[in-house]
Structure 1
Amino acid sequence: MTRTEPPVKSAPPAARWPLQDAKTRFSEVVRRARDEGPQLVTVHGRDEVVVVAADEFRRLKGDRTGAALVEAMQASPHKEIPLTPKRVRMPVRDVEL
């Protein structure tokens, strides 16, 4: 008699929605994105867009305050190098109005 191993449990795959189904059941797509995670929408069998909860989108997008850039520049070993741009006088053309 052969003994079979129990199936290995893995994370559930992202829900896939053909575009027509996603349009018809949009409220369900939104609810599932909020409750279960990202929902993948396909067009002609190809992955096209992902519907995610607003909180998840904000987390992925990050904060655009520039704080990370300021921290990186302050932590640089080359922070003493002046970053003042050189000003160059540009020639001005005569224009007839």
Structure 2
Amino acid sequence: MSNNKESELRHLFGDTVELTTEDGASLTFRILSELEVGEGRYAVLQSKEMQQEGEIEIFRIVSDSDGEPQLESVTDEDEWELVAETYDDSQFGSDERP
């Protein structure tokens, strides 16, 4: 679990990234974090609407044939939860609370 590497997405896109939904709508997300969990790289994103609810979205970062990063939805619930817990731990500390 590492977040030491400079944010590749922030380097390419700045603090926000615009994604297009399957129905063609465009959504803007703030890049909260990039994490390495196990063998995977992940982006933790949040829209303004999600921020109001305290929610996040997690995407897997994969490289296309040109080596450019692409975002894939994480559909496996266990994988999503593992990354979300890793993100929470990086923001709020581990489960060990005083």
Q: Is TM more than 0.5 here?
A: no
* Higher Cα Rg, which structure: 1
Higher strand share: 2
